[in-house]
């Protein structure tokens, strides 16, 4: 886990500790879903700093370890060139 992310419990933008997450809540709504294929999707964990409004969304660790799922992401998404 990066120290420069909301997942650390401290906002990297304003340094507040007023960080909240929905990672233990039931996921619903399009905002929390990344479509991978027409039948496969990833539910995201969202984090928000209520002091400055900064938000981050992360793929849960168990999803990142799913090689078939990640393979589908690589097939259907474009890699960003840096």
Q: Both tokens of residue 15? A: 């340094």
9 Rama class: left (phi>0) / alpha (psi -120 to 50) / beta: left
For 14, 38, 65, 71, the CA distances from 76, given in Å and listed in that order, are 35, 10, 18, 9
State pLDDT tens for residues 13-49. 999 999 999 876 665 555 678 888 888 888 888 899 9
pTM here is 0.74
Residue, of 30 and 9, whose pLDDT is higher: 9
∠38-61-29 over CA atoms, to 5°?
A: 45
Structure-derived torsion over alpha carbons of residues 28, 29, 35, 37, reported in degrees to the nearest 10: 70
């Amino acid at each position: 886990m990066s120290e420069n992310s909301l997942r650390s419990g401290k906002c990297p933008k304003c340094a507040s500790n007023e960080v909240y997450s929905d990672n233990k809540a039931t996921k619903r709504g399009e905002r929390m879903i990344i479509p991978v294929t027409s039948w496969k999707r990833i539910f995201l964990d969202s984090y928000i700093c209520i002091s400055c409004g900064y938000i981050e969304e992360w793929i849960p660790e168990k999803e990142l370890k799913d090689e078939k799922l990640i393979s589908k992401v690589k097939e259907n998404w474009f890699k960003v060139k840096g």
